[in-house]
Structure formats: structure tokens, C-alpha cells
Amino acid sequence: MFGLLACAPELEAEPAMTEAEALDPVTCAACHPDQYDQWQGSMHAYSSYDPVFIALNAAGQRATDGALGTFCIDCHAPMASKLGLSGDGLDLDTLPASMRGISCTYCHTVDGVGDLYNNGLGHADDLVQRGGFSDPVPTAAHASAYSPLHDRAELVSSDLCGSCHDVVVPSGMQLERSWVEWNSTQYATATSGLQQTCGNCHMDGYEGRAAISDGAPLRRVHDHSFPAVDTALIEFPGREEQAEMIQDRLDPTVLSELLVCASENGVEMRLRLENVAAGHSWPSGAAQHRRGWVEIAAYQGETLLFEAGNTAEGEAVLANETDDLWWFGDRIFDGDGIETHAAWDAVSYESKLLPGLDQDGDNHVTRTWYLGEQVPTRAEAIVHMRALDVDFLQWLVDQGDLDPSYLSAVPTWDLAASEAMWSDIIGRCPE
Ligand code: HEC
Ligand code: HEC
Ligand code: HEC
Ligand code: HEC
Ligand code: HEC
């Protein structure tokens, strides 16, 4: 009560946002500075500034004679697409900044989900800001309302994310599948006792103020930085912070166990990898661009007996693909069965992914390398990840769509919990 009374004069002084103001995240920053600061460094703010996005969209529009239309910007610059400000996304740099990202009001006025792919989100045109609070403190700036689609405690909140995170290309092939993958795990099953929505894992809760105005109380608020694997490849707010958060998230994602042992097949090196943190496959989403891989080596004293996955910076992971290389990601193929980077031509894919926790409790894969008569004294392994690999970027450069300076811009991440060491006397392999 006290809060409301104290704020009453302020309420009258504060005019309600106009539609133009509501479309601009900068307006929200006045009262929601934390959400704004976190968001402005996120991939949601970056999505149509991404030079790789711009290059791939340009290549796609050219290759399809414009038939791609708003397909890409429907998700990457969704407000511009919704308001009809761009037909193909080739003119994004002529639009105001407020139209280029996945903006505050774009997410917060969602009032329904149709298709669970290719952005089937429905929006109310009432400028009511929907969120997870059932008791929002009133503000004159905007009306507020509770929405289960925006409440990470509700399974249905994953549909809001999934509708954009699952991509079906024109041939009908499901290119990106984070929601579909999540939906088959125990995290999507209310009765499993392990329920976790996209928001549970990707929007950390912490104690803070949802707004710095109108006497807003301390309560649980949610981080809007959305770090995962992509970093801005251009000057962008919060780039270093994003990189640190990405490392923190990737580090515990994959757990490993390395064993060297003897069987009737000779000496075996067995590596077990477990997806302990991702609520879907790993990698997920744009797995056609992602490249996770194992670097593994065995030594006798100081002598190298065996190695695989020792990829140099600037070299594509699949450039020297051998049978010994263990990698994770998707490959996509066109109608002639030829591998392509052109998602608009893709009709089929091949996946090598670590599975999410399925209904039988499986979330791991084991791989064996055979060393024959060689007897190591020491072995080590680690998993690396690149969000985008050099072969894909080179393909964009070769077509003149991407500046060659980006070829060396994508970092290689090491996943700390995947680091495994073995040094022991070789025993019999367990069954
Ligand atoms: C990708 C969608 C998305 C975008 C973009 C987004 N939000 Fe949110 N926001 C959410 C969701 C989902 C929640 C609710 C989480 C919950 O309560 O479980 C939320 C919660 C909030 C809340 C309530 C307090 C809190 O932190 O939980 C505020 C205020 C808010 N957002 C403001 C903003 C502002 C301002 C921006 C832009 C700078 C923004 N949001 C961008 C999805 C989004
Ligand atoms: C004049 C200050 C002010 C401005 C400007 C403002 N808000 Fe708010 N907003 C508030 C207050 C106060 C609350 C209530 C906070 C609470 O209850 O803890 C709130 C709550 C919210 C919520 C949570 C609603 C719920 O029920 O969970 C969302 C989402 C939100 N605002 C989004 C936005 C967005 C997006 C913008 C910019 C388009 C914006 N706000 C601009 C003051 C403001
Ligand atoms: C309007 C469509 C849209 C909605 C809704 C949306 N996203 Fe996104 N999201 C994107 C796009 C597009 C990107 C990729 C941007 C880029 O990397 O250029 C992205 C990026 C991300 C990333 C970073 C991925 C990476 O590889 O670094 C995370 C994490 C994420 N979203 C989680 C969520 C969650 C959780 C929700 C629901 C609360 C959500 N998104 C809702 C479109 C959306
Ligand atoms: C149980 C926790 C959990 C749940 C639930 C979850 N995620 Fe994730 N997600 C992770 C972890 C951990 C990673 C890997 C760490 C990283 O990439 O930084 C990840 C990675 C991602 C990425 C990066 C893509 C990649 O290469 O792996 C996207 C995009 C994403 N999640 C979206 C979603 C969406 C959309 C949902 C809901 C449908 C969801 N996540 C549900 C934990 C979760
Ligand atoms: C249904 C929504 C949707 C559509 C349609 C879509 N994307 Fe995306 N895109 C996403 C999401 C979500 C991610 C992030 C997934 C992840 O992090 O794994 C993403 C990631 C990307 C990335 C990787 C970001 C990076 O730099 O690592 C590029 C590039 C990209 N999209 C380009 C395009 C192009 C070009 C098109 C049109 C041919 C397109 N997208 C169509 C949602 C979409």
C-alpha cells in the first residue's frame, strides 16, 4: 500500500508510452536498465547485425531470385517483417535500430503460439507488456499482464522460444530442432521430476528489481543476456561479458570419462561423453554451422602414439576428416544428395549429436579407438566447439558476400568438464 501511495504523483506525471516509444528498447531502458543492458549484448539484439546473417541472406536471395522473401527476417528482424518495413532484409541498414533486433516489445506482446517453427507467434496490438508476474506494480508507462507463455515455470513457455528456434526450410526439412529435441527429453515431461523449460536454463533468475521506478519491490528477475555459443563478430555492446558467460555455460555442458584397456581386439581407448546440462541435443539449433569435436592423444612416455582432432586455428574441423575424427554437428544435402551450405536448397541432413536426456535416462555416447599392440602410459582428451567453421565462412567469402577478415574471427571454445586424463597400468576392458 505504502509503495502505491508514495508513487501516486509519479504515476500521474508519467505519460503512457506511444506505439513508437513502445517499439524502441531505449524507451524501456529508462525503467528496466538491467534487462536492457543484458539484452543489448545478446544475440537477440545482434540477430540482424550479424555479418554472417547478412551474407547468408544475401546469398539466399540471389540464389532464389528473391523467392526467399521475408523467410530469414521473420526471425532475425521480426518486427521489421511484421510491420512490412522490409521484404527481403537486403535493406536492413536503412531501418532504425529499434527494428533490427528481436526487441523487448516483440517478445512481450506475444499472446499466442501457432506453428512451433518458422515463427508462428501471435501478437496482441494492445501494447500490454506481458510477463511472469501475476502482481505487477502498476505503472502509467504501460499496462502489464501475467502470461503463462512468459512464465518459465510453465511448460508452455518453451513454445514461445521454440516457435522461433525451430526452422523448417522450404523443402519441408526440419533444419533447426531445439524445441523438438527438448520436447523428447525428460525436461519436457512434467511427471519426470526434472521439468526445465528453455527459460529455466537460459534466463537465470536472481534477486533484483524488475523496474527502478514506481516503487517496484525486490523479487526474482531474469537475465536477458541469453549466452550460448555465438559471439558478436563486429564491435557490439557487452562482447567481452558475453564471451565470459559463454565459457561459463559451455564448461560444464559435456562430462567425459577416458579409459585405456585391453581386450581381444588389442589395446582400446574408450571415451564416454555425457550431455549433462543441455536440455536438448548438443550442439543444437544451427547445428549445420556448429562444429564440436574431440581432440584425443595417447603417449608412451613422451612419444606420441596416436592422435585425432588436433585441428589448427584457421583450418576447418572437417578439412582433414579421417575415420578417427569424432565430431558433433549436422551436415545438410541438396536434392542431388550433394553437401551444401545453402539451407534453402537442403532436403536432407545427417546428424551427429550428443543426445539430450531421453525417457530412458540416456544422454551419453561412447566411442572406441583401437591402438593394436601399442601400449600407452598416458592419454588425454578434450571437447572443443566452434559456432561457425571456416569452410562455411569461406563459401560465403568465395561468393563475395562476406569479408575475408571474418575467416579468423570465430573463437574455438574448450569445454572444461570434458577434459579427461588417463595414466595407469592397462587392465582388461570391462564388458
Ligand atoms: C526473447 C524474448 C524476450 C526479449 C527479447 C525480452 N524479454 Fe523480457 N522477458 C522475457 C521472458 C520470457 C520473461 C519472463 C521470465 C519469467 O518470469 O519466467 C521476461 C521478463 C521481463 C521482465 C520482468 C522482470 C524479469 O526480469 O523477470 C521485464 C521488466 C522485462 N522482461 C523487460 C524486457 C526489456 C526491457 C527487454 C528489452 C530490452 C526485454 N524484456 C526483452 C522474454 C524476453
Ligand atoms: C516509466 C517506467 C517504465 C517504462 C518506461 C517501462 N516499464 Fe515496464 N514496468 C514498469 C514497472 C514499474 C513494472 C512493474 C515491476 C514490478 O512489478 O516489479 C513494469 C513491469 C514490466 C513487465 C512485467 C509484467 C508482468 O506482469 O510480469 C514487463 C514485461 C515490462 N514491464 C516490459 C516493458 C517494456 C518492454 C518496456 C518498453 C517498451 C517497458 N516495460 C517500459 C515500469 C516501466
Ligand atoms: C522472434 C524469434 C525468437 C524468439 C521468440 C526467441 N528467440 Fe532466441 N534467438 C533467435 C535468433 C534469430 C537467434 C540467433 C541470433 C544470431 O545468432 O544471430 C537467437 C539466439 C538465441 C540464443 C543464443 C544462441 C547462440 O548460439 O548463441 C539463445 C540462448 C536463445 N536465443 C534462447 C531463447 C529463449 C530461451 C527464448 C524464449 C524465452 C528465445 N530464445 C526466444 C530468435 C528468437
Ligand atoms: C536443462 C537445461 C536446458 C534446457 C531446458 C534448454 N537448454 Fe538450451 N542449452 C543448454 C545448455 C547447457 C547449452 C549448451 C551451452 C552453451 O551452448 O553455452 C544450451 C545451448 C542452447 C543453444 C545454443 C546452440 C548450440 O549450439 O548448442 C540454443 C539456441 C538453445 N540452447 C536454445 C534452447 C531452447 C529454444 C530451449 C527450449 C526449447 C532450450 N534451449 C532448453 C541448456 C538448456
Ligand atoms: C524460425 C526462425 C528462423 C528462421 C526462419 C531463420 N533463422 Fe537463422 N537462426 C535462428 C535461430 C533461433 C538461430 C540460433 C540457433 C542457435 O544458436 O543454434 C539462428 C542462427 C542463424 C545463424 C548463426 C548465427 C551465427 O552467426 O552463428 C545464421 C548465420 C542464420 N541464422 C542465418 C539465417 C538465414 C540467412 C536465414 C534464411 C535463409 C535464417 N537464418 C532463417 C532462427 C531462424
Q: Whose CA is nearest to atom 5 of ligand 4?
A: 279
Whole-number average pLDDT of the chain: 95
Of 46, 40, 50, 3, residue with least CA distance to 393: 50
Q: Whose CA is nearest to atom 6 of ligand 4?
A: 279
Q: Whose CA is nearest to atom 29 of ligand 2?
A: 131
Query: In sequence order, which residues have a C-beta less than 8 Å from that of residue 191 and are 6 or more positions away?
Result: none
Q: Whose CA is nearest to atom 2 of ligand 2?
A: 31
The answer to whether residues 146 and 133 touch, using CB atoms and an 8 Å cutoff, is: yes
Model pLDDT, residue 14: 59
Q: Quick: pLDDT tens for 52-76.
A: 999 999 999 999 999 999 999 999 9
- 4 Cα to the center of ligand 2, angstroms: 15
CA distance 276 to 152: 20
Q: Quick: pLDDT tens for 304-355.
A: 999 999 999 999 999 989 999 999 999 999 999 999 999 999 999 999 999 9
CA distance 320 to 18: 57
State mean pLDDT over 12-22.
81
- What is the rounded (10 degree) CA torsion for 343, 177, 226, 208? 150
Query: In sequence order, which residues have a C-beta less than 8 Å from that of residue 229 and are 6 or more positions away?
Result: 246, 250, 283, 290, 385, 387, 413
Please report, rounded to a whole number, the percentage of residues in the chain having pLDDT higher than 90.
95
Amino acid at 310: N
Of 14, 342, 426, 380, residue with least CA distance to 169: 342
Model pLDDT, residue 1: 29
In this structure, how many other beta carbons lie within 10 angstroms of the beta carbon of residue 392?
19
Q: Quick: pLDDT tens for 228-248.
A: 999 999 999 999 999 999 999
Q: Which residue has the higher pLDDT, 338 or 16?
A: 338
Of 113, 123, 56, 54, residue with least CA distance to 83: 123
Model pLDDT, residue 214: 87
Which atom of ligand 1 is closest in space to residue 102's alpha carbon? Answer: 5
Query: In sequence order, which residues have a C-beta less than 8 Å from that of residue 185 and are 6 or more positions away?
Result: 279, 280, 356, 357, 358, 359
Q: Quick: pLDDT tens for 250-308.
A: 999 999 999 999 999 999 999 999 999 999 999 999 999 999 999 999 999 999 999 99
CB contact burial 10-47 (16+ within 10 A = b; e otherwise): eeeebeebeeebbbbbebbbebbebbbebbbbbbbbbb
- 286 Cα to the center of ligand 5, angstroms: 7
